[in-house]
Chains A and B, each alone.
Chain A
Amino acid sequence: MTRVHDMGGRFGDGPVVPDAEGAPVFATEWHGRALAVTLAAGALGQWNIDVSRHTRELLSPKDYMRFSYYEKWISGLADLLVQTGVLTREDFEEGGAVQRHPLAERKLKAAAVAGALAKGGPADRPSDVPVSFETGQAVRTLQISGNRLVEGGHTRLPIYAAGAKGHILKLHGTHVLPDSSAHGLGEAPEPLYAVVFPASELWADPEHPGDEVVLDLWQSYLEAV
């Protein structure tokens, strides 16, 4: 079983409401602040992208559904800061003592922002795991979606694609495995593939016989057919 964020295919969400092409990047001022605080705090180097995604997924289903997008970010960040020991619950309750934090020397400076964003965080790594599948080969995803290392842990196999038969479209190289990386268990890089599935493998009523869905999936999510 996965968590509330895993919503691909769900019914009942109503229409998608497009924004105008020229709409403001941040609908309101605090949205931009929320994004910027999250990125600046991330630059302290106390977590990786998988940890940060998983923290948002750990919001209770009730909070996840009622929070707007950037509320999830900012609430996830608050939880992450305490989980990683950067801040304490007391800091939130008391407003934070005014003393220099040991991580203060890692503070991202305005002049370093452009360089930090340009550097990014590539996820490809050398790996000893041999490539098992070739382009065009038929594969099936694991019958049950879920983290195999940590109960209720992070994984990137959506539940709608579990147990589905498709074929390998492309090998992307070897990438950090989020199921491990999100839990401090190491990067465990392994082959990552684009895998294409007929819509009829995934849905009871596909819209068109030729439709397909492609997912990027790690080798350990796949079995040979």
Chain B
Amino acid sequence: MPHDHSDHPHALLPPDPALRVKALETILTRKGLIDPATLDEIIDIYQNKIGPQNGARVVAKAWSDPAFKARLLADATAVVADLGYFGRQGEHMVVVENTPEQHNMVVCTLCSCYPWPLLGIPPGWYKSDAYRARAVREPRKVLADFGVTLSDESSVRVWDSTAEVRYLILPMRPAGTEGLSEEELAELVTRDSMIGTGLPKVPS
């Protein structure tokens, strides 16, 4: 497995990516190794059931309940599992908190590691070369691509997900949200605010 080959087997499949996937699916199905209904089920789960609404619920609860927040920051894996969020690509969770002094951002420079049970499948930009290359070196310029400007008083801590630990950012609760329910707060929590490339919405 360590050896380099100049004749990769993938080159035997059709070059068009849609046809390449189809060819592989067909071969594996004919061999009895995969089932198209299984593929439909996997796609349905990540399209419709697991997504950033899960993380938003965790954030809203942390904004509402100081004891929950303290437990979440101390042992996120167990705490989010109690809410039903665990499994593939979320086996080891850490939640880090934004403060007026420190903004946090998550990247995976080596591939595309991302907390699937809480945020779902990563968006295209998270997996792009531009984000992977630049987020660690010039986080403020990357934030500018998202329309976010930080104050000069705030430092940035970028978390490069190089192991099987997955990171979720706990953004700061927006001003003017006193008295909102957890459900209402969750509506303000964007996916990007939990990656650290955005800020939560402010109530209109």
- Contact-size category for A: 35 or more
Q: Which of A43-73 contact B (CB under 8 A)?
A: 44, 49, 51, 53-56, 58-60, 63, 65, 68-71
Considering only CB atoms, which chain B residue lies closest to A160 in the complex?
Answer: B136
A148 within 8 A of B: no
Chain B residues near A158 (CB-CB < 8 A): 109-110, 160, 162
Q: Is B38 an interface residue (CB 8 A)?
A: yes
A-B interface pairs (CB < 8 A), number: 323
Instruction: Tell whether, in the assembled complex, residue B156 and residue A211 are in contact, meaning their CB atoms are under 8 Å apart.
Output: yes
Is B178 interfacial (CB-CB < 8 Å)?
Answer: no
- Interface residues on chain B, size class: 35 or more
Interface pair B127/A172, CB less than 8 Å apart: no
State the Cβ distance, A92 to closest chain B Cβ, in Å: 4
Choice from B4, B13, B136, B141 contacting A92 with Cβ under 8 Å: B13
For residue A225, CB closer than 8 A to chain B, the reply is: no
Contact of A74 among B24, B121, B197 (CB under 8 A): B24
Complex contacts, A211 vs chain B, CB 8 Å: 139, 155-158
Given contacts A6-B110, A18-B197, contact A214 B159 (CB under 8 A): yes
Given A13-B130, A110-B38, A182-B1, A69 and B124 contact (CB-CB distance below 8 Å): yes
Instruction: Check A138 for interface membership: any CB of B closer than 8 A.
Output: no
Task: Give which listed residue, B26, B121, B197, contacts A96 with CB less than 8 A.
Answer: B26
User: Which of A113, A183, A199, A210 has a CB less than 8 Å from the CB of B45?
Assistant: A113
Do A95 and B46 have beta carbons less than 8 Å apart? no
State the CA gap A7–B135 with chains docked (Å): 11
* Contact (Cβ within 8 A) A41 B30: no
**Contact A196 B157, beta carbon cutoff 8 Å:** yes
A120 touches B89 (CB 8 A): yes
Residue of A5, A51, A69 most packed against chain B (CB within 10 A): A69
B104 vs chain A, min Cβ distance (A): 9
User: Could you mark each residue 109-136 of chain A with 1 if its beta carbon is under 8 Å from any beta carbon of chain B, else 0?
Assistant: 1100110111111111000000000000
10 A-B pairs closest in CB distance: A210-B155, A8-B109, A104-B32, A216-B163, A123-B164, A75-B10, A36-B39, A92-B12, A96-B27, A78-B10
Residues in chain B within 8 A of chain A (CB atoms):
1-2, 4-6, 8-10, 12-13, 17-18, 20-28, 30-35, 37-43, 45-47, 50-52, 86-92, 94, 102, 107, 109-112, 120-121, 123-125, 127-134, 136-142, 145-146, 152, 155-165, 190-192, 197
